[in-house]
Amino acid sequence: MWSGSATLWGATLAQLAILWASHIPSVHHGVQTEPAAVIALHALLFLVALAFWLSVTGSPHQWHSVLALLVSGKLSCLLGVLLTFAPRPLFAKVHAAHSGHEALLADQHLAGLLMIAACPLSYVLTAVVLAIQAVKALDETCTSRSVAPVGR
Protein backbone atom coordinates (compact mmCIF):
# COMPACT_ATOMS: atom_id res chain seq x y z
CA MET A 1 0.00 0.00 0.00
CA TRP A 2 2.68 2.51 0.97
CA SER A 3 5.04 1.83 -1.95
CA GLY A 4 2.61 3.44 -4.43
CA SER A 5 2.13 6.36 -2.05
CA ALA A 6 5.86 6.72 -1.52
CA THR A 7 6.43 6.83 -5.28
CA LEU A 8 3.69 9.42 -5.69
CA TRP A 9 4.99 11.67 -2.92
CA GLY A 10 8.59 11.25 -4.03
CA ALA A 11 7.65 12.32 -7.56
CA THR A 12 5.62 15.23 -6.15
CA LEU A 13 8.49 16.49 -4.03
CA ALA A 14 11.01 16.02 -6.84
CA GLN A 15 8.83 17.98 -9.27
CA LEU A 16 8.34 20.84 -6.84
CA ALA A 17 12.01 20.95 -5.85
CA ILE A 18 13.26 21.05 -9.45
CA LEU A 19 10.61 23.58 -10.52
CA TRP A 20 11.34 25.98 -7.68
CA ALA A 21 15.12 25.48 -7.81
CA SER A 22 15.17 26.24 -11.54
CA HIS A 23 13.48 29.58 -10.82
CA ILE A 24 16.04 30.75 -8.25
CA PRO A 25 17.70 33.70 -10.03
CA SER A 26 21.27 32.56 -9.31
CA VAL A 27 20.51 29.01 -10.52
CA HIS A 28 18.70 30.36 -13.56
CA HIS A 29 21.68 32.59 -14.37
CA GLY A 30 24.19 29.78 -13.89
CA VAL A 31 22.27 27.44 -16.15
CA GLN A 32 21.64 30.01 -18.89
CA THR A 33 25.34 30.60 -19.46
CA GLU A 34 25.83 27.05 -20.75
CA PRO A 35 23.59 25.64 -23.54
CA ALA A 36 24.12 22.04 -22.41
CA ALA A 37 22.97 22.98 -18.91
CA VAL A 38 19.77 24.53 -20.32
CA ILE A 39 19.02 21.31 -22.20
CA ALA A 40 19.81 19.20 -19.13
CA LEU A 41 17.57 21.34 -16.91
CA HIS A 42 14.67 21.15 -19.34
CA ALA A 43 15.13 17.39 -19.70
CA LEU A 44 15.15 17.04 -15.91
CA LEU A 45 12.01 19.19 -15.60
CA PHE A 46 10.31 17.02 -18.24
CA LEU A 47 11.33 13.76 -16.56
CA VAL A 48 10.18 14.74 -13.07
CA ALA A 49 6.90 16.09 -14.49
CA LEU A 50 6.40 12.84 -16.40
CA ALA A 51 7.11 10.81 -13.26
CA PHE A 52 4.66 12.98 -11.31
CA TRP A 53 1.82 12.66 -13.79
CA LEU A 54 2.36 8.93 -14.32
CA SER A 55 2.33 8.31 -10.57
CA VAL A 56 -0.77 10.52 -10.12
CA THR A 57 -2.76 8.81 -12.85
CA GLY A 58 -1.48 5.33 -12.07
CA SER A 59 -1.78 5.38 -8.30
CA PRO A 60 -4.31 3.04 -6.70
CA HIS A 61 -4.60 5.58 -3.88
CA GLN A 62 -6.80 8.19 -5.56
CA TRP A 63 -7.14 10.38 -2.47
CA HIS A 64 -3.36 10.59 -2.19
CA SER A 65 -3.26 11.60 -5.86
CA VAL A 66 -5.89 14.29 -5.25
CA LEU A 67 -3.89 15.68 -2.33
CA ALA A 68 -0.63 15.56 -4.31
CA LEU A 69 -2.30 17.43 -7.17
CA LEU A 70 -3.67 20.10 -4.87
CA VAL A 71 -0.36 20.63 -3.04
CA SER A 72 1.66 20.64 -6.25
CA GLY A 73 -0.85 22.85 -8.04
CA LYS A 74 -0.94 25.39 -5.22
CA LEU A 75 2.84 25.68 -5.06
CA SER A 76 3.14 25.92 -8.85
CA CYS A 77 0.47 28.63 -8.91
CA LEU A 78 2.31 30.43 -6.11
CA LEU A 79 5.40 30.56 -8.29
CA GLY A 80 3.26 31.99 -11.08
CA VAL A 81 1.87 34.63 -8.73
CA LEU A 82 5.37 35.60 -7.61
CA LEU A 83 6.46 36.01 -11.23
CA THR A 84 3.32 37.97 -12.10
CA PHE A 85 3.47 40.45 -9.24
CA ALA A 86 7.23 40.88 -8.89
CA PRO A 87 8.02 44.61 -9.12
CA ARG A 88 11.23 44.00 -11.07
CA PRO A 89 12.59 41.40 -13.48
CA LEU A 90 14.00 38.49 -11.48
CA PHE A 91 16.20 37.22 -14.28
CA ALA A 92 17.47 40.53 -15.69
CA LYS A 93 21.10 39.57 -15.17
CA VAL A 94 20.70 36.76 -17.70
CA HIS A 95 18.45 38.37 -20.28
CA ALA A 96 19.41 42.06 -20.03
CA ALA A 97 21.43 41.95 -23.24
CA HIS A 98 18.38 40.84 -25.24
CA SER A 99 15.81 43.48 -24.28
CA GLY A 100 15.05 46.39 -22.00
CA HIS A 101 13.83 46.41 -18.41
CA GLU A 102 10.17 46.94 -19.34
CA ALA A 103 10.17 44.15 -21.90
CA LEU A 104 11.79 41.74 -19.42
CA LEU A 105 9.22 42.60 -16.77
CA ALA A 106 6.35 42.20 -19.25
CA ASP A 107 7.70 38.79 -20.35
CA GLN A 108 8.05 37.69 -16.73
CA HIS A 109 4.51 38.83 -15.91
CA LEU A 110 3.15 37.00 -18.95
CA ALA A 111 5.00 33.82 -17.95
CA GLY A 112 3.49 34.07 -14.47
CA LEU A 113 0.01 34.58 -15.91
CA LEU A 114 0.41 31.52 -18.12
CA MET A 115 1.40 29.48 -15.06
CA ILE A 116 -1.63 30.78 -13.15
CA ALA A 117 -3.91 29.87 -16.06
CA ALA A 118 -2.40 26.40 -16.51
CA CYS A 119 -2.70 25.41 -12.82
CA PRO A 120 -6.49 25.16 -12.61
CA LEU A 121 -6.72 23.68 -16.08
CA SER A 122 -4.36 20.84 -15.29
CA TYR A 123 -3.89 20.20 -11.57
CA VAL A 124 -7.32 21.16 -10.24
CA LEU A 125 -9.30 19.63 -13.10
CA THR A 126 -7.40 16.34 -12.76
CA ALA A 127 -7.94 16.40 -8.98
CA VAL A 128 -11.68 16.92 -9.48
CA VAL A 129 -11.90 14.04 -11.96
CA LEU A 130 -9.97 11.71 -9.62
CA ALA A 131 -12.14 12.75 -6.65
CA ILE A 132 -15.31 12.01 -8.62
CA GLN A 133 -13.95 8.59 -9.59
CA ALA A 134 -13.01 7.85 -5.98
CA VAL A 135 -16.45 8.85 -4.69
CA LYS A 136 -18.16 6.72 -7.36
CA ALA A 137 -15.99 3.73 -6.45
CA LEU A 138 -16.78 4.25 -2.77
CA ASP A 139 -20.49 4.56 -3.56
CA GLU A 140 -20.42 1.35 -5.62
CA THR A 141 -18.66 -0.48 -2.79
CA CYS A 142 -21.21 0.72 -0.24
CA THR A 143 -24.13 -0.09 -2.54
CA SER A 144 -22.90 -3.61 -3.26
CA ARG A 145 -22.53 -4.31 0.48
CA SER A 146 -25.97 -2.99 1.40
CA VAL A 147 -27.80 -4.87 -1.36
CA ALA A 148 -26.42 -8.26 -0.40
CA PRO A 149 -29.17 -10.84 0.12
CA VAL A 150 -30.15 -11.49 3.71
CA GLY A 151 -30.34 -15.16 4.69
CA ARG A 152 -33.45 -16.50 6.53
Q: What is the pLDDT of residue 33?
A: 87
Higher-confidence residue of 140 and 14: namely 14
What pLDDT digit, counting tens, does each position of 46-72 carry?
Answer: 999 999 999 999 988 899 999 999 999
Q: What is the pLDDT of residue 95?
A: 54
The average pLDDT across 142-146 equals 76
Distance CA 15, CA 6 (A): 14
Distance CA 52, CA 70 (A): 13
What pLDDT digit, counting tens, does each position of 71-118 carry?
Answer: 999 999 999 999 999 999 988 765 555 667 888 899 999 999 999 999
CB-hemisphere CA count at 13 Å for 98? Answer: 10
